[in-house]
Chain A
Amino acid sequence: MSTQTENTSNAPSNEPSPKKGATGWVIFAFFVIGFGFSLLGGWVGFPKMLYTEVPHPIDFNHALHMNLVYDGCNSCHYFREDGSFSGSPTLNECRDCHGFVMGINENEEKFVEEYVLQDKEVPWNIFSKQPDCVYFSHAPHVNGAEMDCAACHGDIGDSESLRSYQENRLTGYSRDIWGWNMSRLGEPEHAPRMKMMDCVNCHVEETDSQGSCFQCHK
């Protein structure tokens, strides 16, 4: 570069004392390019890199089941006697109806053949799964604060098909926890976000305290 500079300066020229190096707008353009690249990469490319789509083992039609059960969500996602929450139903609970292929659709057939008949639990993708250090009890929220399932889990109960599940490659948890919108601004897309601050904000609003560490951690 220095050689070129020397050449330039030594060359006969009419221009008065030419400026060395690039001009301001070029420098700015480079800034914009860099800025744009990072911004675009961060907001568009990064989520694609960070998250990976994980297919569901089988599709599940919540709406269809809701029509067949008597007690809404509680029919399959219920409280046990000790107040703990059952979460996803186990094979034994499904087996009552799906002991053999009823021929409803191919998902049902797959479920019975690959799981029920082989006595293998379905490895459901859990949208709301939290790390082991998090303690969460449904009872105070459902029984105490009388919250509706949808308040945290969105309208999955009305869905006819499982929506897309994306897994965070670094942490292994669902994209739902942070929220699908990387900015975490605005209303959540599918279901309320579940980062610690989301819990805290609600707790401050409802109980006038963010709670103590042990309230939610173990």
Chain B
Amino acid sequence: MKIDRRCFLSLAGGLVAGHLLSPVPWKVTDDLSIWTQNWPWTPVPETGPVTWKNTTCTMCPGGCGIKVRIIKDRVIKIEGREDHPVNRGSLCPLGYASIQYLYGPSRVKSPMKRIGERGSGNYEPITWEEAITEVSGKLGDLRKSGKSHTVACISGSDKGTIPHLFKRFLEAYGSPNFIRTPSAKDAHETAAYLAQGKKAQNVGFDLENAGYIVSFGCGLLDGCGSPGYQFSSYSRFDKDHTLVQVEPRLSNTAAKAKKWMPAKPGTDGALALGMAHVIIKKGLYNRNFIENHSFGFEDWTDDDGNIHMGFKGLVKGYTPSMVSEITGLAAGQIESLATDFARAQHPVAVCGYNECTVSSDIDKTLAVHALNALVGNINQPGGMIVFSDPEYNLPEVEKDQIASDGTAKPRADRAGTAEYPQTRYLLNMLPETIMGANGNDLPIEALLVTDANPVYTMEDNETAQEAFARIPFIVNFSSFMDETAQFADIILPDHHFLEGFRDVPAPDGVGKPVTSLSAPVVKPLYNTRNTGDVIISIAKSLGGTIDASFPWNNYEAFLKQAYNDQYTDLSRSGYVVSADKPAPWESAFANERGKYEFYPTMRHTAGNDDKSKLPDFRQVDIPGDKTNDALVLIPYKSPRIASGAIANPPFMTKTIDADMLKHERLFIQVNPETAGKLNLKQGDAAVVKTPSGEATVLVDLFEGIMPGIIAMPAGLGHTAYSKFIAGKGVNVNALLKPVFDPTFGLNKAWGIRASLQKA
């Protein structure tokens, strides 16, 4: 038998033929295709029963109700809660994207202790017991050495039980330094106090019932204030609703407004007075309110027989033609705006709230409040609503001598001192005070930071960072590795809001007294603790009267006692709306006359003349040299960029337009006319310089911005969190600088002078 090449060929042929008649080729092809469609690294999300749980979003002070879709302890999606009185189904992108914070890379997963240089980001995990011992040890030492007043707390809010616990802690411990981060609330509550006599009031606007809204620069549709509330109110607007937006830049709000009135920046106060002039001249004001519930409208005589100028006298000079000169708007436009406003159903003038710059101009705010008073739309449907915080049912704080002495000391931020007696919080003053002190006698020796990211959000950012670097001991309660957490010596991470309890009273700018409850929808993923529990633990380990002031085992017990009878409702439906109507005019005003004071007699002023008491228009001299810095830089808010204490989650950064961010470079909006003069074209790299700092940006030619003004979005230029936001763009706060009001100490700056040059 001979075996040759052909035998092997035949064998191969047989093998192939047999193979083709076997299942191998077809089955392997089929299986391989299935294999390639199911790579092991492509995740296969697990299925299971779907449950929905209601809670409240706390990513911003907006207080929106949300419903959370859960599959087997996994949070799949967040949506707006239709039956929630604040947002009525609407929700902003940050709310939707907040699941990315729950599972994201910037979570602080356990208590941390700094081991490297400050800001180096080197931390080691420690146990809760170690962390609490360390913090209470440090605080105990300070207290023993008589320095209890050098402990401060910076909080993003002063409402709700968590800030309340911090205030209570400082009171029992012996420090006056509870500091709320600057916000438009500063101006509103101060103005409401001056005109109406009650301190610490919430000022909201009933946008859902308003018929004619004049917004003085409020980013109502740009993601400020309570976006859910504002958007849901806007979604119900029909052709009978009017929104007028006053600002120098065509923002999203301006683009959606029936009328955009591009007044020169910083002249809103004059416009409000001009409108008042027309309304009074034409007799379109609410006579009942003016005659029976207001004071200082007409000229008045005091007990000593001195005649004072009233509001009417003040606005007499603000004729449309004069206001036209100040604002750059046509006189006829001003006149018709005032007339339409006063004649409309439920007109409301809105300001301050929702601006992204924290400009707290008391005069402007008083002037805008006065517009609402003129048309009698205070505490009325569709008007400006003023209400108090819920009262907590809690025992008195027990104070020993150290506590009494410490709390009696002047505040480190100078708020409430003889200098600024009518202001409650002045965080912007703090860096200056710290930098001015010598190293052995620092006004702040220990700092607790909760719900705030001041190292990022404070204007004149470089100075603020230097000041924070001087504070010897910083404790941060943030859930995320933000810029302030990177400065901290100890991080005591709070739960993500989907993991813990917290009450959310008085959402920003919302025209009704709603208190919501944020309740856990999933078990805590990491070794985090509710900040309330941590404060109680620290108080307990300090012992003495501090311990005695905190007779609760945990935060939940405290929360239940604070809300008392209301807690059942709160936990059952997730919110409570105070049943009372806003205080009627008869009882709304708590000053001695019981009236709305157009002439705020209480107002702390440098001089005692009428014009400084009245909300006269005073041009704010923003920082910078008029000749060298020919342009004015204003920050703007974009609904696609979270600009507060929380940075953008990846989903939101993904939505940022190509004309706002290109790789790591930020675009600055410039009017083509201005750009032409500077010889700049679309996409050119340019250096923007202000008295605070400089940055390289790209030029975006935008017709919708007033010539001479340049604008940068707020909320970028982070250095912390994760690679999905860090290193993108420029932190506009590093280019801005506050201008302090001489009698209130609040920041009045609405922008800063700047120059722009081709890079």
- Closest CB of chain A to B616's CB: distance in Å? 63
Query: Which A152-210 residues have C-beta < 8 A from chain B?
Result: 168, 170-173, 178, 182-183
One of A37-45, A101-109, A110-118, A141-149 contacting the partner: A37-45
* Cβ of A30 under 8 Å from chain B: yes
Q: Contact flags (1/0) for A21-59 with B, using CB distance below 8 Å?
A: 111001110111111111111110011001000000000
Whether B22 contacts A39 by the Cβ 8 Å rule is: yes
Contact with A along B305-316 (1 / 0, CB 8 A): 000000000000
A6 at the interface (CB under 8 A from B): no
- Which residues on B sit within 8 Å (CB–CB) of A80? 49
Interface-central residue, B14, B23, B44, by most chain A CB under 10 Å = B14
Contact in complex: B50, A84 (CB < 8 Å): yes
CB neighbours of A32 from chain B (8 A):
14
- Map CB proximity to A onto B1-45 as digits: 1 under 8 Å, 0 otherwise: 111111110111111111101111001101110110110000011
Partner of B38 from A43, A86, A132, A178 at Cβ < 8 Å? A132
- Closest residue of chain A to B6, judged by CB? A27
- The interface centre, meaning the residue of B19, B22, B37 with most chain A CB atoms within 10 A of its CB, is B22
A30-B4 in contact (CB<8A)? no
CB < 8 Å neighbour of B7 from A22, A132, A172: A22
**Given A1-B4, A21-B4, A80-B49 in contact, is the A171-B18 Cβ separation under 8 Å?**
no
Contact with A along B182-200 (1 / 0, CB 8 A): 0000000000000000000
- Cβ–Cβ < 8 Å partners of A12 in chain B: none
Inter-chain contact A34/B35, CB cutoff 8 Å: no
B15 touching A37, Cβ below 8 Å: yes
Partner of A133, one of B2, B11, B37: B37
A178 to B27, CA, bound (A): 9
Q: Does A131 contact B (CB under 8 A)?
A: yes
Question: Which of A27, A28, A36, A132 neighbours the largest number of chain B CB atoms within 10 Å of its CB?
Answer: A27
- Per DSSP, chain B at the interface is helix
Specify which chain A residues have a CB less than 8 angstroms from the CB of B28 in the assembled complex: 170
How far apart sit A117 and B508, CA to CA, in the bound complex (Å)?
A: 49
Cβ contact within 8 Å between B22 and A50: no
A133 CA to B35 CA in the complex, in Å?
12
Interface residues on B, range: 35 or more
B23 in contact with A182 (CB, 8 Å): yes
Q: Residues of A contacting B4 with CB < 8 Å?
A: 1, 21-22
Given the known interface contacts A46-B23, A132-B38, A183-B23, the answer about A21 and B18 at a Cβ–Cβ threshold of 8 Å is no
Say yes or no for A82: interface residue by CB 8 A criterion.
Answer: yes
Neighbour of B22 across the interface among A33, A46, A133, CB < 8 A:
A46
Nearest-neighbour CB distance to chain A for B587, whole angstroms, equals 50
Residue of B nearest to A27 (CB): B10
Question: What residues of B have a CB within 8 angstroms of the CB of A84 in the complex?
Answer: 49-50
* Residue contact A33 to B31, C-beta cutoff 8 Å: no
- Which one of A22, A36, A132, A178 lies within 8 Å of B2 (CB-CB)? A22
Q: Is the CB of B19 within 8 A of A38?
A: yes
Contact A39 B18 (CB under 8 A): yes
| Complex-state Cα separation, A211 to B583, whole angstroms | 63
A178 to B29, CA, bound (A): 13
Chain A residue at minimal CB-CB distance from B12: A34
Q: Please tell me if the beta carbons of A34 and B38 are within 8 angstroms of each other in the complex.
A: no
- Determine the residue in chain B with the shortest Cβ distance to A183: B23
What residues on B are CB-neighbors of A178 within 8 Å? 27, 30
Closest chain B residue to A44, Cβ basis: B22
B677: min CB distance to chain A, Å: 56
Beyond A38-B18, A132-B38, whether A31 also contacts B13 by CB under 8 A is yes
- The residues of B that contact A173 with a CB separation of less than 8 Å are 34
Contacts A32-B14, A34-B18, A132-B44: A50 and B27 contacting too (C-beta < 8 A)? yes
Residues of A within 8 A of B18 (CB): 34-42
A38 to B20, CA, bound (A): 8
Report the separation of the CA atoms of residues A173 and B37 in the bound assembly, to the nearest whole angstrom. 13
Contact A35 B24 (CB under 8 A): no
Q: Which of A1, A86, A171, A183 lies at the interface centre, i.e. has the most chain B CB atoms within 10 A of its CB?
A: A171
Q: Which of A26, A42, A171, A182 contacts B3 (CB 8 A)?
A: A26
Q: Is the CB of B13 within 8 A of A34?
A: yes
**CA A86 to CA B49, docked complex, whole Å:** 7
CA distance A35 to B19 in the complex (A): 7
- A168 and B21 CA atoms in complex are apart in Å by 21
Question: When chains A and B are docked, how far (Å) is the Cα of A183 from the Cα of B21?
Answer: 10
Return the chain A residue nearest B38 by Cβ. Answer: A131
Residues of B within 8 Å of A131, CB to CB, are: 34, 37-38
Q: Are B50 and A30 in contact (CB under 8 A)?
A: no
Are the CB atoms of A171 and B31 closer together than 8 Å? Answer: yes
From A1, A22, A43, contact of B23 by CB (8 A)? A43
C-alpha gap A35/B49 in the complex (Å): 53
| Cβ–Cβ contact B23 & A30, under 8 A | no
Evaluate contact between A38 and B6: CB separation under 8 angstroms. Answer: no
Q: Closest CB-CB distance, A174 to chain B, in whole Å?
A: 12
* A90 to chain B: closest residue by CB: B48
Q: In the complex, are the beta carbons of B31 and A170 less than 8 A apart?
A: yes
Contact residues in A for B2 (Cβ distance below 8 Å): 21-23, 26
The answer to whether A42 touches B19 (Cβ under 8 A) is yes
Of listed B2, B17, B28, residue having the most chain A CB within 10 A: B2
Q: Is the Cβ of A37 less than 8 Å from the Cβ of B14?
A: yes
In the complex, what's the smallest C-beta–C-beta distance from A124 to chain B, in angstroms?
Answer: 14
Residues of A within 8 A of B14 (CB): 30-38
Chain A minimum-CB-distance residue to B48: A90
CB-CB under 8 A from B17, the residues of chain A are 31, 34-35, 38
Chain A residues whose CB sits within 8 angstroms of the CB of B30 once the complex forms = 178
Given contacts A46-B22, A131-B34, contact A34 B15 (CB under 8 A): yes
**Least CB separation from A171: chain B residue:** B34
Indicate if the CB atoms of B23 and A82 lie closer than 8 Å: no
For B43, give the chain A residue with the smallest CB separation: A132
Which residues from chain B contact A22 at a C-beta distance below 8 Å?
1-4, 6-7
Given contacts A46-B24, A170-B35, A182-B23, contact A30 B16 (CB under 8 A): no
Q: Which of A23, A32, A38, A178 counts the most B-chain CB atoms under 10 A from its CB?
A: A38
Q: Which residues does chain A contribute within 8 Å of B38, judged by CB atoms?
A: 131-132, 171-172
Contact B15 A35 (CB under 8 A): yes
Contact yes or no, B49 A39, CB < 8 A = no
Least Cβ distance of A116 to chain B in Å? Answer: 18
A36 closest partner in B (C-beta)? B18
Q: Which of B8, B10, B38, B44 has the most CB of A within 10 A?
A: B10
CB distance from B583 to the nearest CB of A (A): 46
Bound Cα distance from A41 to B24, whole angstroms: 9
Q: Judging by beta carbons under 8 Å apart, are B13 and A42 in contact?
A: no
Q: Which residues of A contact B31 (CB under 8 A)?
A: 50, 168, 170-171
A22 to B10: give the CA distance in the assembly, Å. Answer: 11
CB distance from B362 to the nearest CB of A (A): 55
Offer 13 A-B interface pairs, CB within 8 angstroms, sorted by A.
A21-B6, A22-B3, A23-B1, A30-B10, A31-B11, A37-B15, A38-B16, A131-B34, A132-B38, A133-B37, A171-B35, A178-B27, A182-B23
A34-B16, A38-B21, A168-B31 known; 10 other A-B pairs, CB under 8 Å?
A: A1-B4, A21-B4, A23-B2, A30-B10, A37-B18, A38-B19, A42-B18, A42-B19, A42-B24, A87-B47
Pairs of residues from A and B, 9 with the lowest C-beta to C-beta distance, nearest first: A42-B22, A34-B14, A38-B18, A35-B14, A31-B14, A34-B15, A35-B18, A170-B31, A39-B18
